[in-house]
Amino acid sequence: MNPKQIVKKIIDSSTYLTLATTDGEKPWANAVFFASDKKYNLYFTSYNNSQHVQNILHNPHVSIAIFDSHIVPGTGAQGVQIEALCHRVTTDDLPEAIKVVYAKRFPDAKERAKRDLSVEHFSLPDSEGRTDHLYKITPEHIYILDKKVGKDTRMEVEL
């Protein structure tokens, strides 16, 4: 597989990513469910009071790691590391973000139909009880390990 295919396979086959954020003093990493679009933007939902959202509001620069943690050590594990910007999804981008995230979270259309996945629902202000929002991670640099060069040597993959 070429590097682009490796990145695509890892992103498409993964359900969770490790999101690293900072408030400018302390780092914070956590796992979040995610979905991706065709341009490799990554989307997730989270609560306003979470540490990672508070960090993103302070500093939108994030780092991401996506990998299969079930791979047996020494058998060719591969992961994707991403440097990115992260922002809350705005009204104009909500239809696409809702579609991408919830098609993955609830693949069964009947299950999705039971939920309010309207733009209006996701546009409710915090003052009206909305405590979770959609976030978009826009990759700036994507890396994988360069197995030809040697251990722990990364190569940037242009998508």
Burial state string for 13-44 with b = 16 or more CB within 10 A and e = fewer than 16:
ebeebbbbbbeeeeeeeeebebbbeeebbbbb
Measured CA to CA, the distance from residue 57 to residue 28 in angstroms comes to: 14
For the chain, domains (ranges, CATH) are: 3-156 (2.30.110.10)
Give the per-residue pLDDT at 95: 93
pLDDT in tens for each of the 159 residues of the chain? 899 999 999 999 999 999 999 999 999 999 999 999 999 999 999 988 899 999 999 999 999 999 877 777 776 678 999 999 999 998 889 999 999 999 999 999 999 999 888 888 888 777 666 677 899 999 999 999 877 766 677 889 987
Give the per-residue pLDDT at 60: 97
Give the per-residue pLDDT at 64: 98
Give the per-residue pLDDT at 149: 64
Give the per-residue pLDDT at 127: 63
Task: Specify the long-range contacts of residues 98-107, CB closer than 8 Å, at least 24 apart.
Answer: 98/122, 98/134, 100/35, 100/36, 100/37, 100/43, 101/35, 101/43, 101/44, 101/45, 101/134, 103/35, 104/15, 104/35, 105/33, 105/35
Give the per-residue pLDDT at 78: 83
